[in-house]
Amino acid sequence: MEKDNFYMNLALKEAKKGRYQTWKNPMVGAVIVKNNHILATGYHHHYGQNHAERDAISKLTPEQLFNSTLYVTLEPCNHYGKQPPCSDLIIKSRIKRVVIAQVDPHKLVTGKGIAKLKNAGIQVTTGVLADEASELNKFYSYFYQHDFPWVAVKEATSLDNKVAIHGQRTPITNQAVYQQVHSERADYQAVMIGSTTAIIDNPILGTNIKSDYPPIRIIIDRRGRLLNHLHLNLLSDTNSTWIFTQNEQMAENCFNNPKIEVIHLETEKIQEVFNYLSKKGIQSVYVEGGPTLEKAIMNEIFVNEVIKYTAPIFLGDEGVTGLVPNETVHLTNIKRTILGDNERIAGELKHV
């Protein structure tokens, strides 16, 4: 048992090497062991490339693989996706035992890989460091368990809960927060803002993390105000932007930019936006404001997490008030981080 934990920990470390490049796939790591010797390690390097098991197995000869133990952080797949099933490869490799951390939450996979291995006479152990493995792919796991993205609502406010001076772009937080936001965006598959934030702040919503899969920028623009603001960064640069609108006239070709998609909304419900994102397989959304959009989201859909940055300033009566939900919201699993004279607090919502 102690040995299993040791090797699985190593496999988790391997998995993390794929961070920011596996996109909609989970990070997965694998370690192959025989007679207390590590023969090979592997991980899922990049979306569309070899799975972790294949990456490790490919480094060994059939003789080495025979009777070995494979540690893998996620249940091996048993379906044809971008890659042939790993379960078949493991059986063919005559591996004796497979130790798994997390059972795959993906409905197409869960339990099937394990059943296949067992049917082939392979010893299977599950649940070794399962919590750590699940945490590693928190958004992936959540998405496939709930058919809905993990939604984080983020805001940056003064001590009097103001997000800006009315009508002005108002930088409140410090450089350390700027860096932190630019790195945490990379953890999400989409970032979302309202049209007012797009117009007043003219943000890029970029990240300082090198990744082939930067988050898709989403703008909620029901009235189609962006048609009068074609110069905005989000409408003219080369990353993907999705605009959700109820404006019948707005179409993709309005923007003369192939990276822009326009999605027409049929209702006033913010739920409709998130249902669309779910269908598109977007596993995680980082909502960056403004407060009107955040309030609608907090009140209408299942929000998982609030991340709030605060700066040591009061903006006073001239300030635009930040997020105030309809009702009391308790947070749990609180993480506070001091960033210079600013602070980050993150907490998950208690839902009943």
Binding interface with its own copies (CB under 8 A): 159-162, 165, 306, 308, 310, 312-319, 322-331, 334, 336, 338, 341, 343, 345, 347
Q: State how far the Cα of 55 lies from the Cα of 64, in Å rounded to an integer.
A: 15
Q: State how far the Cα of 133 lies from the Cα of 118, in Å rounded to an integer.
A: 22
Cβ nearer to its own copies, comparing 112 with 308: 308
Among 220, 222, 213, residue whose Cα is nearest residue 242: 220
State in angstroms the smallest separation of the CB of 316 from its own copies. 5
State in angstroms the smallest separation of the CB of 330 from its own copies. 6
For residue 76, give both structure tokens.
């091996």
Cβ nearer to its own copies, comparing 115 with 324: 324
Phi/psi at 255 (nearest 5 deg)? -100, -10
Residue 184 annotated among the catalytic residues of the structure = no
State in angstroms the smallest separation of the CB of 136 from its own copies. 24
Helix (H) or strand (E) holding 274: helix 270-279
Q: State how far the Cα of 239 lies from the Cα of 290, in Å rounded to an integer.
A: 21
Cβ nearer to its own copies, comparing 262 with 293: 293
Contacts of 253 (CB under 8 A, 6+ apart): none
Cβ nearer to its own copies, comparing 248 with 317: 317
Asked if residues 144 and 114 have their Cβ atoms less than 8 Å apart, the reply is no
State in angstroms the smallest separation of the CB of 297 from its own copies. 13
Phi/psi at 242 (nearest 5 deg)? -110, 130
Catalytic residue among 53, 75, 155, 294: 53
Which active-site residues does the annotation give?
53
